Structure 1
Amino acid sequence: MTHQHSEQIQRYLRWRAERAMSPLGTGGLAQARADRTRVNDIVAGPPSGTRFSRSSGDPSSGTPPMLIAHPAQVRHSAFAVYAHGGGWSIGTADDYASVAAHLAASASMPVVVPDYPLAPEHPFPAAPDAIDRALEACEREPENLGLNDGARSVLIGDSAGGALAITAALAAQRRGRPASALLLAYPATTTLLPPTEVETAWMAGLSRSALEWFLNLYFTGTADRTTPRANPIGDDLSALPPIAVVTAEHDILNQSIDEFVRMARQAGVAVRHRRYAGQIHTFFQLVGITDAAAEAYAYLTRDLDQILQPHHRHHPAGAPDRASPRSAAR
């Protein structure tokens, strides 16, 4: 471990401090939502040639509104559904438009961002229900994405959205329309809180107390947090498609993510995993702020050309990925 933040992350944390932006869970939900939107002022804009369109959704079927990022070049008859992070309670599709645009450019396919209902106004299972409906809508009407019938799907998720992407991938497999790949950034794979001893002062992106706050917003008092749909690490992971995961060195979720990766590989799923030195939880959102964000997009999408070949079939993982963590410090 480097036991320090990259220079770019240090500058970002100073920017937050200069604006008196509160740590998550300490300034209230309204403040946290406003602070997330303020980050849009400093992230990079969409790549050249990217355009956006919108779908209004269908309240009668539970399909949420969706923002769609279209890249300048599309190489495959495929699309990605991106479940954004934010503890199931923070962020909108517009807040993640730049991330979606850069992912679309990196993957050379449209990236759909469902504006799923947020907790506590809409507690579990409103969010996973909405992601499932969004994916089904894209499968039914790929022409809305500029694609033909039979377009293949990829699921992307960061943080809380990682949990939503995992459960959506499992649901898609069960209804006979499996996703081709699952791309995750520091996913929330369990609803169990990590041990207190794993937390350090370097974990500026997400603290244990903030994670507990998010979970209490997301689940009502009677909700069962141990069901596989709420706690994806407890599901049958063998049904998952090939997975790529990126994580941050300084992240309270690392212990549970490492266990998820181990269990998925043990279940026969091909998994690639890279941890970025000097980074914090949320770095994936910080395109143009830390170089690690763009590097992570490239790492996650690098195998899609091969995976999306018409006759490609994925095979179980071999030995674990032992690549050294990359530092994005500049």
Structure 2
Amino acid sequence: MRDIALPLPLARAILGPMYRVSLHSRLPWRVQRALIDAGSALQPVPAGVEVTRLRLGGRPAERLSPRTPAATEPAAVLYLHGGGYAVGSLTTHRSLNGRLAVATGLPVYAVDYRLAPEHPYPAALDDAEAAFLELVTEHGYQPGRIAVAGDSAGGGLSLALAQRLIARHGHTPAALGLIAPWVDPNQLPERPRDLVVNGPWSRACAAAYLGAGDPADPGYAPLHGVLAGLPPVYVQADVDELLHPQCVDLTAALRAADVTVEFTESRGLWHVAQLQAALIGPASIALTEMADFLRQAVDQLPAGDLG
């Protein structure tokens, strides 16, 4: 299936009602998950990508490999999907991950981490940590040759993972690619909704993920964790989405901590429009920008990370 260049007004007209129905706080989580998975059928995996199922860190996972890899040495991307820690799956992000594999020339490992409310914090972070460590111990990747990327809740999870890897294991990933990251679930949105996310749903997700935990825990709200020492970070958000202010705050905090940051803002897209990169030209361009950032970072392996 070839890419389709939908006009942005048409895409918004289609996606808005779909998200309003599927991401509704009154729907059971299992129904939301089923609806989002079904909608992902419109987002094809690009040609030239091999999808291999495996287990990583004890969880179901996929390895999406480009048929023409760009790396001469082992390197990879670990991708953590979004969905408020309560929805989202390998299915919903397979198209995005396939396109990321093609654009980087690297295998992309996607992990089906445990979801809330059945598995509240820190289950998702524990699964992400186990997946990264297994890439190092069992798959032969050096920590500095693994980029970590994610969107929305998966973006916040990526940041929390990097902080934990540095603090617990002395492992610094090559880079972080964060698409509209949700880095502080405690913050209330300034507006009731954007095209994708609405306030009641986001509050329900935050409560489900927190469970009986401490909302001040930096693993839950990594914006307030240790930022110094992080690898280069790419942040992308649309100016009209609810998480844009958090992305601005994160970028400022990273720069204050002397972390290299590239912050790109789109206009006229929506929250994680990269999911529709096969259908929307500007979304494809935004995903390619992140891929270029990650590819460059992976190629610049520090000498101290070779052992």
* TM-score, length basis structure 2: 0.88
1:138-188, CA deviations, whole angstroms, 9 ceiling, x for partnerless residues?
111225xxxx66771100010000111011112222312210110010000
Contact persistence 2:61–2:111 (CA under 8 A): yes
- Which 10-residue stretch deviates more, 24-33 or 242-251? 24-33
* 1:291-306 correspondence to structure 2 within 5 Å: 291-306=281-296
Match of residue 258 from structure 1: 248
- Rounded Cα–Cα distance in structure 2 between residues aligned with 1:248 and 1:12: 18
1:70 maps onto 2:68 in alignment: no
Q: 2:203 aligns with which of 189, 212, 227?
A: 212
Greater shift, 128-137 or 166-175, is seen at 166-175
Name the CA distance, whole Å, in 2 between partners of 1:22 and 1:311: 42
What is the one-letter code of the residue matched to 2:186?
L
> Aligned equivalents of 1:128 and 1:290: distance in 2?
31
**Match status 1:247 vs 2:237:** yes
Superposition RMSD in Å: 2.2
Equivalents in 2 of 1:170, 1:12: separation in Å?
A: 38
Q: What SS is found at the alignment partner of 1:65?
A: strand
1:199 to 152, 167, 191: 191
Preserved CA contact (<8 Å) 2:144 2:302 = no
Q: Is 2:107 aligned against 1:110?
A: yes
**Alignment-derived partner of residue 270 in structure 1:** 260
Structure 2: distance between partners of 1:204 and 1:150: 37
Judged with a 3 Å threshold, the aligned counterparts in structure 2 of structure 1 residues 217 and 48 are, in CA distance, closer, same or farther, namely same
> Are positions 1:139 and 2:119 aligned together?
no
Displacement of 1:29: 1.6
CA distance in structure 1 between the aligned counterparts of 2:261 and 2:300, rounded to whole angstroms: 21
**Cα deviation code 1:225-263 (max 9, x no counterpart):** 111111101111112110111112321111111101100
1:189 to 163, 177, 183: 183
SS at match of 1:278: coil
* AA matched with 1:106: A
- The separation in 1 between residues aligned to 2:270 and 2:92, in whole angstroms, is 19
- Partners of 1:32 and 1:215 in 2: CA distance: 16
Corresponding residue of 1:38: 38
Query: What runs of 5+ residues in structure 2 fail to find an aligned partner?
Result: 1-6
Contact 2:144 2:174 in 1 (8 A): no
Aligned ranges for residues 113-128 of structure 1 at < 5 Å? 113-128=110-125
**Among candidates 141, 147, 161, match of residue 154 of structure 1:** 147
Partner Cα separation in structure 2 for residue 136 and residue 282 of structure 1: 27
Q: How far does residue 207 in structure 1 lie from its aligned partner after superposition?
A: 1.4
- Residues paired across the two proteins, number: 294
The Cα of 1:217 is off from its aligned counterpart by 1.3
Distance 1:263 1:310, change over 3 A: closer
Q: Which residue of 2 aligns with 1:49?
A: 48
Question: For residue 123 of structure 1, what is the amino acid of its counterpart?
Answer: P
- 2:8 aligns with 6
Distance 1:150 1:284, change over 3 A: closer
State the secondary structure of the residue aligned to 1:51. strand
Deviation at 1:93, TM superposition (A): 1.3
Structure 1 length normalisation: TM-score? 0.82
Alignment of 1:287-326 (within 5 A): 287-309=277-299
- What is the DSSP-based 3-state SS (H/G/I as helix, E as strand, rest coil) of the residue aligned with 2:32? helix
Percent identity, aligned pairs only? 24
Which contiguous aligned blocks of 4+ residues in structure 1 show a shift greater than 6 angstroms? 148-151
Matched to 2:267, the amino acid is A
Q: 1:239 to 1:51 in 2, by over 3 A?
A: same
| Offset from partner CA, 1:278-321 (integer Å, 9 cap, x none) | 122131212223223211211112134432335558xxxxxxxx
- Structure 1 distance, partners of 2:77, 2:142, is 15
The answer for the alignment partner of 2:173 in structure 1 is: 179
Whether the aligned pair in 2 keeps the contact of 1:116 and 1:130 (CA below 8 Å) is yes
Helix, strand or coil for the counterpart of 2:92? helix
Q: Determine if contact 2:143/2:173 at 8 Å carries over to the other structure.
A: no
Which structure 1 segments of 5+ residues have no match? 314-330
